[in-house]
């Protein structure tokens, strides 16, 4: 089976390029499971219930999140209404939402999607490595197809998580930096890996934000209101082919679409 993953959808520019290209990507790559990180889909900061539902209605099956998952207050109640909308699993117990979704593809193949967040140069939440162990040991062993979005800053933490999950997960793709990395590969235990899938949004920017605003901040040190850029829009992600009998990945390819 084939899994499509789309990296951090940033603001309206990111949402519109997903709407434009998703139908072709789904048919061209014979996608059975389509996942996207949507933590920045609302103006670059968070996600709203309406945007979550619009993205799912386009044909995405699961939306993952990250450090921006809780930016918009109105999303809190929506987590319990929409189990396909995830936020990182290793936030403190008791917060709205979940970091795991289990479902079946249209062809009846069971799968699990897990969302975790790193701690290096990020919020000091629960250990993602231990949380991954707990989640994987509680998963129904008949669910062979397992996808992890690891939302983290450092390449080293992501690579370490890759080795930690290898052999237990079909694919781990990184998100958060908004910079796609050229290291798609299949690790020794059969897990497809990429340090960062990259952003789906405006690349004429600094990780999605208007470049002039960010440059002014670096040059003056003064605070400035962030605004999403609208130019240089690209879609980035990867397609992973998984043997659904074993859960092992057989192929991973980076994908990119431009307007």
Q: Provide the annotated active-site residues.
A: 68
Which of 10, 111 has the CB closer to Fe ion? 10
Place of tokens 């920017």: 205
| DSSP line for 31-65 | -SEEEEE-TTTTTTS---HHHHHHHHHTT--EEE-
Which of 8, 149 has the CB closer to Fe ion? 8
Strand partners, 62: 35
Question: What contacts 132, CB < 8 A, 6 or more positions away?
Answer: 114, 116, 148, 161, 164, 165
Q: How far is the CB of 176 from Fe ion (least distance, A)?
A: 4
Q: How far is the CB of 123 from Fe ion (least distance, A)?
A: 10
Which of 103, 232 has the CB closer to Fe ion? 232
Which of 67, 195 has the CB closer to Fe ion? 67
Q: How far is the CB of 151 from Fe ion (least distance, A)?
A: 6
Q: Which residues here bind Fe ion, judged by CB under 5 A?
A: 8, 39-40, 66-67, 176
Q: Could you give phi then psi for residue 12, rounded to 5 degrees?
A: -65, -35
Q: How far is the CB of 63 from Fe ion (least distance, A)?
A: 13
Q: Are 254 and 194 in contact (CB under 8 A)?
A: yes
């Amino acid at each position: 089976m084939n899994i499509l993953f789309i990296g951090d959808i940033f603001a309206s520019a990111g949402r519109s390029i997903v709407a434009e290209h998703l139908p072709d990507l789904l048919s061209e790559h014979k996608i059975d499971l389509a996942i996207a990180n949507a933590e920045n889909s609302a103006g670059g900061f968070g996600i709203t219930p309406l945007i979550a539902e619009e993205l799912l209605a386009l044909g995405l099956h699961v939306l993952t999140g990250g450090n921006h998952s809780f930016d918009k207050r109105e999303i809190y109640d929506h987590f319990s209404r929409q189990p396909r909308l995830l936020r990182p699993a290793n936030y403190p117990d008791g917060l709205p939402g979940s970091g795991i979704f289990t479902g079946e593809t249209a062809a009846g193949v069971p799968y699990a999607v897990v969302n975790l967040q790193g701690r290096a140069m990020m919020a000091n939440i629960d250990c993602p490595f231990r949380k991954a162990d707990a989640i994987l040991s509680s998963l129904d062993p008949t669910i062979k197809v397992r996808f992890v979005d690891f939302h983290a800053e450092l390449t080293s933490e992501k690579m370490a998580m890759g080795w930690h999950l290898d052999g237990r997960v079909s694919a781990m793709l990184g998100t958060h930096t908004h910079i796609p990395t050229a290291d798609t590969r299949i690790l020794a235990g059969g897990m497809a890996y990429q340090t960062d899938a990259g952003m789906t949004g405006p690349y004429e920017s600094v990780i999605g934000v208007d470049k002039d605003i960010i440059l002014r901040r670096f040059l003056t040190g003064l605070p400035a209101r962030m605004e999403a850029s609208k130019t240089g829009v690209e879609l980035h992600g990867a397609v992973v082919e998984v043997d659904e009998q074993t859960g092992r990945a057989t192929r991973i390819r980076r994908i990119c679409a431009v307007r």
